[in-house]
Amino acid sequence: MSAPPDLAPLSAESPPKKVATRNAYGEALLELGATNPDVVVLDADLSGSTKTKAFGKAHPDRFLNMGVAEANMIGVAAGLASQGKVAFASSFAMFATGKAFEQIRQSVCVPDLNVKICATHAGLTVGEDGKSHQMLEDVTLMRVIPNMHVMVPADSVEAKQCIHAAAEINGPVYVRLSRGATPIVFAENYKFQFGKAAMLREGHDLAIICMGVTVSASMQAAELLAQDGIQARVLNMATIKPFDHGAVAAAARDCGAILTAEEHQQNGGLGDAVAQSVVLSHPVPMAMCAMDDSFGQSGTGDELLAHYGLDSNGIAARAKELMQRKAKTAGSV
Amino acid sequence: MALETTRRDEIAAAANQVRIDTIRMVHAAACGHPGGPLGMADFMATLFMEHLNLDASNRHAPDRDRFVLGNGHTCAGYYSLLAQKGLIDRDALLTFRKFGSPLQGHPHRNHDLGIDFSTGSLGNSLSVSLGMALAAKQNGWDTRVYSASSDGESQEGQIWEAATAAAHYGASNLTVMVDFNNVQIDGYMRDVMDVRDLRAKYEAFGWHAVDVDGHDIDAIDAALVAAREETERPSALILETLIGKGVSFMENQPGWHGVAPNDEEAAKALQELGAS
C-alpha cells in the first residue's frame, strides 16, 4: 500500500454530519434480508437499541428475539448456521462478547460457522451508562480466537460495507459498532476493502493507526499536527483480523514512528496488534492512545474521550511526545 | 406400537456392542470416560437404531435428523454407534483420542463421519440443538433434532436459557435425552449439587417431559415415539441410568467417570460383556 488515498475522499461538510454506526447496521440488515433468504437475525431484548428491529418487522419469520440470554442466543445462532443459515446475532458489546465468550469460542469458532456477531454500544462512547456497559475488552477477546474475523468501522458509511462484507465471509465475524453518533469520515463512494488498511492521509513524520470512533479524531489530530509542521500519515485499520501487516510495515519504514488510537484497552487491542507486527517487521518508536488498564465512568462520550486522551487534542499531544522520542532515538544512533 | 422381539434384541445387541467398543477404545487410548457410555448405551442404541434418520447414505442430506452429544465426554459410545451405522470404519475406533484421529477426545463436527456438532464444554448443546430445530422449521423440513444431556450438564445455567427459548418457540421437533445417573466427577450428584426433579423442571419450563427407565428399551422406544407425536412442545426424556452398566465393578462408581481400565480390568470387563 504505497499510494496516497484515492479511496477516501473526505466529507466536505463542516462540521461533519454525525450518524451512529449501529444505524448503518440496521440498514444493511434490511438490504441483506431482501436479497438473501438465508439471513436470519437474533437479538437479546435490545432490538431497538441495536437496530435489528426493522429487520424483525420486515422478516418476522427470520427474526428471533432470544430474550435476556446472550449465551443461548449465540448457541442458537451456531445451530442455525450449522444448517446453512447466515446468522447475525446482536446485543451490546459488553454482553455479546463478555457473557457469551465461551459460546463464541466453542460453538461458533471451533466448528467455524457462519455466525456474525454485530455488537453495538462498544467502548467509552456508551457514555452515561458507565463502566458496566462500556465494553473496552471486546476486540482483545475476539481477535485471539482462531477462525474469527474482526472489523471496527470508523463511520456509518464504512459500517454498512463492513456488514455486507461480513455476510460474504464464510465463517465467524465480529463487528464492533457504536451507540453514539460519530462524524462521517468517508464519502458515499468510499470502497471498504476487507483485510486492508486504508490510508486516509499521507505523511512521513509519523503514522497514526486508528480504528472506530478514533479515526475522525485522528484525522483532526493530523490537521493540528500539520499546523506545527508535522506531517502524519493516518491509517484506518477497520479490519483488525486478518491484520494488514504490510500496511503497518510500510508505515514503520516510511514514517519511523507509529502512534495507535483506539477506544479500547491497550492490552490486547489495536496497539498491541500493531506493536506485535512492528516488532516482527521493522521496529520503530511507538506510543498508544488507549485505555491504560482502567475502566471508564459515566459522562458524555465526548467528555470521556477527552478525559482519556482519545480526542483530537489528546492524540495530537501524544503524537508530539512521540516525535520527541523519535528524534532522540535518531540522535542516539 | 411396541417393538418386535427381534428388533428389541437387535437394539440390545447394539447397546452391548457400544459397551464392548467403549471398553476397547478407552483401554486403547489409556484415558477417557468409560462410565457414561456404558450407562447411556441402551437409550443411545434405541435412538440410533430405531429413531435417528442418519446412515451412510444420507449423511450429507441437509434435511436428515441431527444429533448433538451435549455430554461430549461420553463420545466413545457415540462413535461406536456411528461405526455400527456404517459412518465410521470399525478399524478407526481404536484411534480414539490419538494424534491425527478424527475421533477427538470430545466430538468435533465432521459431516463425513456424521458428527453434527463440536461439543465438550457442558451447557452449550441444547442451545445449538434448538438452533438446528428452528432452522429445520424455517425451512419446512421434517428434521428431528436429538440432543443428549445429563444431570451434571443440567447444573449449567445455559441449559435453562435454552429450555426457556425452546418452549417459547414451540420447538416440537427437538428432543433432549437426559442421562440421569446421579454421578458427576466429584462424586454423587446429590452430594455435589442436586439438580432435583428434572422432569418437573422441564415441565415447568413448558416442555413435554417424562421419566423413563434408561435401561428399558421398550420404555425408551415408547417415549421417543411419544416425543415424535408431540406437535406443540419440545420433549425431554429424563432417563434414569446406572453409570458403568454391564460391568460389575464399574456400576454406580463415580471413580469410573473418567478413568481408563488397565489390561486386567479391561479383560474382565470384556469377559462380563461377552466379548469374543
Q: What is the pLDDT of residues B231-252, one digit of tens each?
A: 999 999 999 999 999 999 999 9
B124 touches chain A (CB under 8 A): yes
Q: What is the pLDDT of residue A332?
A: 64
Q: What's the domain range around B246? A: 5-272
Closest CA to A124 of A212, A46, A209, A47: A212
Predicted TM-score of the model (pTM): 0.95
- pLDDT tens for A59-102 read 999 999 999 999 999 999 999 999 999 999 999 999 999 999 99
Residue A1 has pLDDT above 50, yes or no: no
A87 touches chain B (CB under 8 A): yes
B108 touches chain A (CB under 8 A): yes
Check CB contact under 8 Å for B138 and A102: no
Distance from CA of A111 to the nearest CA of B (A): 6
Q: What is the pLDDT of residue A4?
A: 39
Q: What is the pLDDT of residue B276?
A: 78
Number of domains in chain B: 1
For B64-89, what is the mean pLDDT? 98
Q: What is the pLDDT of residue A7?
A: 40
Of the candidates B124, B162, B165, which has its C-beta nearest A106's C-beta? B124
Check CB contact under 8 Å for A75 and B128: yes
- pLDDT tens for A181-191 read 999 999 989 99
The proportion of chain A whose per-residue pLDDT surpasses 90, expressed as a percent, equals 93
Q: pLDDT band at residue A329, thresholds of 50, 70 and 90?
A: confident
Tell me how far the alpha carbon of residue A236 is from its chain's centroid: 9
Q: pLDDT band at residue A13, thresholds of 50, 70 and 90?
A: low
Which residues of A belong to the active site?
Answer: 70
CATH for A198-332, options being 1.20.1370.10, 3.90.190.10, 3.40.47.10, 3.40.50.920:
3.40.50.920
The grid cell for B75 is 463420545
- pLDDT tens for A260-272 read 999 999 999 999 9
Q: Which residues on B lie below 8 Å from A64 (Cβ)?
A: 134, 169
Q: pLDDT band at residue A6, thresholds of 50, 70 and 90?
A: very low
Q: Which residues on B lie below 8 Å from A106 (Cβ)?
A: 118-121, 124
Q: pLDDT band at residue A41, thresholds of 50, 70 and 90?
A: very high
Q: Which residues on A lie below 8 Å from B161 (Cβ)?
A: 69, 71-72
- pLDDT tens for A159-216 read 999 999 999 999 999 999 999 999 999 998 999 999 999 999 999 999 999 999 999 9
Query: What does the alpha-carbon distance between residue A200 and residue A285 come to, in Å, rounded to a whole number?
Result: 21
Q: Do A18-183 and A198-332 come out as alike in CATH topology?
A: yes
Secondary structure of chain A in HEC code, one letter for each residue = CCCCCCCCCECCCCCCCEECHHHHHHHHHHHHHHHCCCEEEEECCCHHHHCCHHHHHHCHHHEEECCCCHHHHHHHHHHHHHCCCEEEEECEHHHHHHHCHHHHHHHHHCCCCCEEEEEECECHHHHHHCCCCCECCHHHHHHCCCCCEEECCCCHHHHHHHHHHHHHCCCCEEEECCCCCEECCECCCCCCCCCCCEEEECCCCEEEEECCCHHHHHHHHHHHHHHCCCCEEEEECCEEECCCHHHHHHHHHHHCCEEEEEEEECCCCHHHHHHHHHHHHCCCCEEEEEECCCCCCCCCHHHHHHHCCCCHHHHHHHHHHHHHHHHHHHHHC
Q: CA-based diameter of chain B, in Å?
A: 53
Q: Could you tell me the residue ranges of all domains in chain A?
A: 18-183, 198-332
Q: Which residues on B lie below 8 Å from A61 (Cβ)?
A: 138
Distance from CA of A122 to the nearest CA of B (A): 24
Question: What's the mean pLDDT when you consider all of chain B?
Answer: 97
Q: Which CATH topology does A18-183 take?
A: Rossmann fold (3.40.50)
Residue A333 has pLDDT above 70, yes or no: no
Q: What is the pLDDT of residue A2?
A: 41
A61 touches chain B (CB under 8 A): yes
Whole-Å CA distances, A281 to A248, A251, A267, B41, B209: 9, 11, 20, 56, 61
Residue B210 has pLDDT above 70, yes or no: yes
